Amino acid sequence: MPYSKFTLSKVVEDFQLTIIEGDRFVPEVSPINPTALLKDTLKETVPWAIAVGSEKARSEGIINPVLLEVKRQLKGKISVFSGEEFAVQP
């Protein structure tokens, strides 16, 4: 099942999960400002991604630039794997 088909209610049902509200499993992080490069890139790519409307266009035009910005801000401490299948079966 592609990631775009997942909904919270479906995942909770299929994987028999329990939601615990109010607990944080991710530490607090300070907000950072986007670089001029990211702002310029998104100014160009977001309208295109929205106009095309496909998951691939959103991935290439919105998600990938943001992930690459995170990688730059973290000085390469993470990797971005484009095109890796994320198929999960309950």
pLDDT of residue 26: 77
Residue 2 lies in a domain: no
Amino acid making up residue 61: G
pLDDT reading at 19 higher than 90: no
CA 73, CA 67: separation in Å to the nearest integer? 10
90 near 14, Cβ under 8 Å? yes
Residue 16 lies in a domain: no
Coil/strand/helix, residue 20 = coil
Residue 17 lies in a domain: no
Residue 3 lies in a domain: no
The 10s digit of each residue's pLDDT in 56-80 is 999 999 999 999 999 999 998 988 8
Residue 36 lies in a domain: yes
Q: How many domains does the chain have?
A: 1
- Residues, the chain: 90
CA 64, CA 84: separation in Å to the nearest integer? 13
Domain residue limits at 75: 32-79
